[in-house]
A and B are shown apart, each in its own frame.
Chain A
Amino acid sequence: QKEVEQNSGPLSVPEGAIASLNCTYSDRVSQSFFWYRQYSGKSPELIMSIYSNGDKEDGRFTAQLNKASQYVSLLIRDSQPSDSATYLCAARFGNEKLTFGTGTRLTIIP
């Protein structure tokens, strides 16, 4: 069974520090990976996607993909209280539907 695993947290990070969220997946043929942010009481919102090995940066967010080790991570620089949310990792295995992890709850401490 193709799986995506995340540490459920909660992960607490001081304001201004780097928050690091990690995700592992089970299938080497995974093509693409997505990070969603979900505020309490809201719907998941796509914030980053990555398809190639290496880093992809977008503002304060950096997604990192290592296909050999089967992990993908999301770094949030200069963490702000507004970054406090649950972050969902998702993988697309081949051309199939997305498989979501259970999410990591992140709290930024002022």
Chain B
Amino acid sequence: DAGVIQSPRHEVTEMGQEVTLRCKPISGHNSLFWYRQTMMRGLELLIYFNNNVPIDDSGMPEDRFSAKMPNASFSTLKIQPSEPRDSAVYFCASSIQGLANYGYTFGSGTRLTVV
């Protein structure tokens, strides 16, 4: 199994530009999570999907952030316009909904730098 695949691994962009992060969950997993990690705030859940449907987006910082999951094998997290305070590592994770004893598998992350 290839695991959770994220792209790009690194992204450097200028303030005001649109940024799109991509994630392919593990085949057969029906829950997908987007996290942001910084030294100051640790690991923060932004949004998660069950069966491609957004369940909880209360962690999305503001309207500049949006996420979609058009099918079971692909999700995007978009930031428009980007700001320097969005600089962080963004992780995607997937799991199987309904299995209480099943953990999350994380992708390798996207390190975003907004200058």
Contact = CB atoms under 8 A, between A and B. Distances in A.
B56 A92 contact: no
A97 B43 CA distance: 14
Interface in A1-54: 31-32, 34, 36, 42-46, 49, 51
A106 interface: no
Contacts of A88: 43
B7 to A, nearest CB: 14
A97 to B, nearest CB: 6
- The size class of the interface chain A forms with chain B is 20 to 34
A3 to B, nearest CB: 13
A34 B42 contact: no
B24 to A, nearest CB: 15
Nearest to B108: A43
A90 interface: yes
B104 A98 contact: yes
Given A97-B33, A97-B48, A97-B56, A44 B100 contact: no
B103 A46 contact: yes
A102 B101 contact: no
A79 B2 CA distance: 30
B101 A51 contact: yes
Given A42-B108, A43-B106, A49-B101, 14 more contacts: A31-B101, A34-B104, A36-B103, A43-B107, A43-B109, A44-B43, A46-B104, A46-B105, A49-B103, A95-B100, A97-B48, A98-B103, A98-B104, A103-B43
User: 6 tightest CB-CB pairs across the interface, nearest first?
Assistant: A43-B106, A31-B100, A46-B103, A34-B103, A102-B42, A32-B101
26 contacts: A31-B100, A32-B101, A34-B103, A36-B103, A43-B106, A43-B108, A44-B91, A44-B106, A46-B103, A49-B101, A51-B100, A51-B101, A88-B43, A90-B103, A94-B100, A95-B98, A95-B100, A97-B33, A97-B45, A97-B48, A97-B56, A98-B104, A100-B42, A102-B42, A102-B43, A103-B43
Interface of B: 33, 42-43, 45, 48, 56, 91, 98, 100-101, 103-109
